[in-house]
Amino acid sequence: MRPTQIGIIIVYNEDIIEQIERKCGKVIVLNNGWGVFIYHHVKYVYIPDPHSGTIKMAIPYITKIGKYDKGSLEKAIIDANREVKFVKIVFQSNGNVSMRYDYKIIGSITAAEVVKHMIETMYIASEYFMFKLQSLLK
């Protein structure tokens, strides 16, 4: 295990992976150290970054750009980014709409608290984004 000093705590990537497994079940750890997991039928990626002072997660695919009117997508992304704290929803060059959450550790917090907060916030934000998008299309 290689520890990462973040603020006044040490976070081990293995601790984060373990907490994700407790909350979501199986985590596939890729050769680059990234962890891929599913929560409520949504694929997430844990992205270790030991030098940034953050814990990073992403939902690489919320929807395809081509499925919806681009103007509605842009408005839903702007509204969701403005109204939902912590996450960033963006267009990807591969045609997907994705989400990222970079959690800056300040003070003392456990891996269990961080993982729970990040996963649940991202899930709620992705649901809110799709609700906002659907409401714009009516």
CA 138, CA 136: separation in Å to the nearest integer?
A: 6
Q: What is the pLDDT of residue 9?
A: 42
CATH number of domain containing 68:
3.30.1460.10
CA 65, CA 47: separation in Å to the nearest integer?
A: 24
Q: What is the pLDDT of residue 11?
A: 53
Total domains, the chain: 1
Q: Is 58:102 a contact under the CB 8 Å cutoff?
A: no
Sign of CA pseudo-dihedral 78, 74, 59, 125: positive
Give exposure, 2-22, as e/b (b: 16+ Cβ within 10 Å): eebebeeeebebebbbebbee
12: CB partners within 8 A, 6+ apart: 1, 2, 3, 4, 111
Q: How many C-beta neighbours within 10 Å does residue 35 have? A: 20
Kind plus residue range of the DSSP H or E element containing 65: none
Q: Is 123:84 a contact under the CB 8 Å cutoff?
A: no
Over residues 71-89, the mean pLDDT reads: 92
For 5, the 3-state DSSP assignment is strand
Model pLDDT for residues 102-122, shown as the tens digit of each residue: 998 777 778 889 999 999 999
Quote the domain boundaries for residue 45. 3-137
Over residues 12-20, the mean pLDDT reads: 87
Q: What is the pLDDT of residue 1?
A: 42
Using alpha carbons only, give the angle 37, 55, 88 rounded to the nearest 5 degrees: 80
